[in-house]
Amino acid sequence: MIRHLLLSILFVATSLPALAERPRVALVLSGGGAKGAAHVGVIKVLEANRIPVDIVTGTSMGAYVAGMYALGLDAEELERQLLSLDWNQGYQDKVGRDELSLRRKRQNDEYLLRTDIGINPEWQLSLPGGFFQGQAMGALLRQSTLNLPGLKSFDELPIPYRAVATDMETVTPVVLGYGHLATAMQASMSVPGVLQPVMVNGRLLADGGVVNNMPVDVARELGAEVVIAVDIGDAMLPRERLNSALAMISQLTNYLTRSSTERQLALMTEQDILLTPNIGGIGVGDFSLMPDAISRGEAAAEVMLPRLQALSLSEEEYQAYQAHKLDRRAQLQRTDAVYLDRVVVENRSGLSEAVIRDVLGVVPGQFHETRELEDGVRRLYALDAFERVSYRIEEHNGEQVLTVITSEKGWGPGFIDFKFALEDDFSSRSNYEIGVQFRRTNINMLGGEWLLEATFGSNKQLASEFYTPLDTDYDFFWKVRGEYEKRRRTFFFDASDPQFELFRPLTTLDVDYATWSLLTELGYNLRPWSELAFGVQGLVGDIEARNIDQRLDIDSFGPYVRFSHDTLDNVFFPRRGEAWEVRLGYFRNSLEVNGGEESVSGLDYELEWLRPYAFDRHTLIGKLSLGGSSAEQEVPTFARSLGGLFNLSGYQSDQLSGRYSAFGGLLYHYRWFDNDFGAFRSPVYLGGSLERGGVWNSGADVDWQSSLIAGSVFIGVDTNWGPLYLAYGHGEGDKNSFYLYFGNLFSF
């Protein structure tokens, strides 16, 4: 620090004549997404030739590079920082499945077509302001700036800095010259329709490219006498390339950005220098080509070296200039750990502040690393109640204050999601399901919600559910659910058994279960991914045997306990985590047939377990399920089924049903290729399975030796809308099936 101070004094003392003689140089950087890496190549050439920069301005990606350079990073640090970031991650707002609560995992696994369609308080359809909400981009930019506190002016940075954004209400340029550097960068980079605009000082701000993509005028207002401008904007498309709707939209966007750039070019004088790197073939989203863009930026600057070198300083002058920058950089409170005196919540949602504080988990009066703060923000965002959660660190009256801003989804509070599942064995049976879920969030200040669900197709379901946490720590919850379900099952039995005398001479029974049920649960969340629940369930309905024209009325009532745990990263193609559920109940079941009624009480139990073991691109998954009931009747009230892909492959879905079931299987995946499209991935898998299981109608018949062996081979794709499988299954008893599966086949 003392050395830097002495060098700064020396700089002022020795370079005043030079400062008086040399002009103030501004570096102006235009927007262009991944092409903006070319700016780093330009800076490398400037530094190699001892060319000082006194002012830096930028738009969009140019605002990011300019902001990091203004922080005092040299070209080498800037290049390392730019290439180390996963820019594609900035367009992936959704938190990982393993970060979601157990309840949200179950919902997302069932309703895979998550549309983000909202229903506003006036019960009108509403949509978000951007395809992505900017949550991940905000975290990436905070990581870059190491949570630099807010500044009264960006003139306090080692190099005075300005970013340009667009006021979306008036479509006019907004120059950002104070506040939080990461917020200014994000506002300037939020491409309309792609990233949600950023609210800054009451104005809704988005990417500045359409109003001022190369802010020469802003540099002039800061006192620039010589401008080095870098233009990486796209040229207009020729007529032969205007052959699609996307091309037309791209042409209009190019026109707006080129028009703003042309207006800025008109402000440049003969002593200014314009650099135009050849960035052809590099798109705004081609972040993997950033190293190439850096090289092209260097090449463009080297072409203009004869003019640029007129601005070069002597080695002594440049050393003093650099020392002055380093001194100002050292004075910035930019650190990976910060002591927090207070935590303030700017709550722009219906959730209580106490809930937000408890989920955030940041305790004042302690040092906190950036990672801890980001983890707390991700926990809040994983509640799925906010469009964006951000924070800033400021100094107030000698205190370091963390301000957390939570913004409720502006297109809610109701949301609609869908599901679609298809199963076809290419022979005798096709099943499909189409479903919709309406979710009304934040019913109360604890984040309660109301669900309406409807499913149609081979199986039918109508349901309504109310759920609410009971405390701000989200330790306890209560829910009540009413449901109608109609489901088809097939039972195989021994006609000589007196228990099945009613159905002679048949050996199979095709039945439709139509039931109405009501349950209520009181539960405790041991962790966000583990819960223990105590409930009571009542059920009434009928069982219709289609092949004997027989109808049986049923009712059931009793208490149960459920213990659920799920840390899987992906329910269909998992690589880490574990999931299991144990349910034990005691039910009184009544069955009425031919005017007579039979009532039986007994225990009902279920166990499911799934665990992946991954190595490199290989994954082996173990699966186990058991179920049964001691209340034995001709037709079980709670039936278990096997059949279908990965559930005794070769058999039709739910082809085997009974009172008792047991299943064990090993499933192997090989991730063949990744299909990484940046903002999303759809990896392709090859694999197979070995399975063994059986169903039985009497406890005396349960025998592992009488179980069936099956297996499969498949190719699968993990799409954003659910898994897609094309498979062949073979089961004991010469059962063979080809399968086409799409949707929530394998949800836990």
What positions carry a catalytic annotation? 60, 207
How far apart, in whole angstroms, are the C-alpha atoms of residue 598 and residue 604? 17
* Cα–Cα separations (whole angstroms), residue 392 to 144, 155, 354, 624: 14, 19, 19, 47
Crossing angle for the helix pair 181-189 and 61-70, to the nearest 10 degrees: 160
Cβ-in-10-Å burial (0-12, 13-18, 19+) of 269 comes to: exposed
CA angle 10, 16, 17 (to 5 degrees): 125
Beta carbons of 282 and 293 less than 8 angstroms apart: yes
The tokens describing 713, both together, are 């081979």
How far apart, in whole angstroms, are the C-alpha atoms of residue 412 and residue 115? 13
The tokens describing 119, both together, are 């229903």
Do you find a cis peptide bond into 413, omega within 30 degrees of 0?
Answer: yes
Beta carbons of 714 and 737 less than 8 angstroms apart: no
How far apart, in whole angstroms, are the C-alpha atoms of residue 215 and residue 104? 45
* Backbone angles phi and psi of 24, in degrees to 5: -80, 125
Distance in angstroms between the alpha carbons of the first and the last residue of the chain: 59
Tell me which H or E stretch contains 468. Answer: strand 460-469
Beta carbons of 699 and 630 less than 8 angstroms apart: yes
Give the list of residues 6+ apart from residue 161 with CB closer than 8 angstroms, or none: 55, 56, 57, 66, 67, 70, 154, 181
For the chain, how many helices (H) and strands (E)? 15, 35
How far apart, in whole angstroms, are the C-alpha atoms of residue 300 and residue 264? 20
Beta carbons of 709 and 689 less than 8 angstroms apart: no
The tokens describing 58, both together, are 């930028």
Among residues 173, 207, 177, the alpha carbon closest in space to that of 190 is found at 207
Do you find a cis peptide bond into 636, omega within 30 degrees of 0?
Answer: no
- Sign for the CA dihedral angle at 6, 8, 13, 18 comes to positive
* Backbone angles phi and psi of 441, in degrees to 5: -90, 165
| DSSP assignment of 281-302 | T--TT-GGGHHHHHHHHHHHHH
How far apart, in whole angstroms, are the C-alpha atoms of residue 150 and residue 142? 12
Return the residue matching tokens 């004042």.
364
How far apart, in whole angstroms, are the C-alpha atoms of residue 5 and residue 571? 58
CA angle 92, 194, 135 (to 5 degrees): 40
Count of Cβ atoms closer than 10 Å to residue 353 Cβ: 16
Which 3 state secondary structure label does DSSP give 194? strand
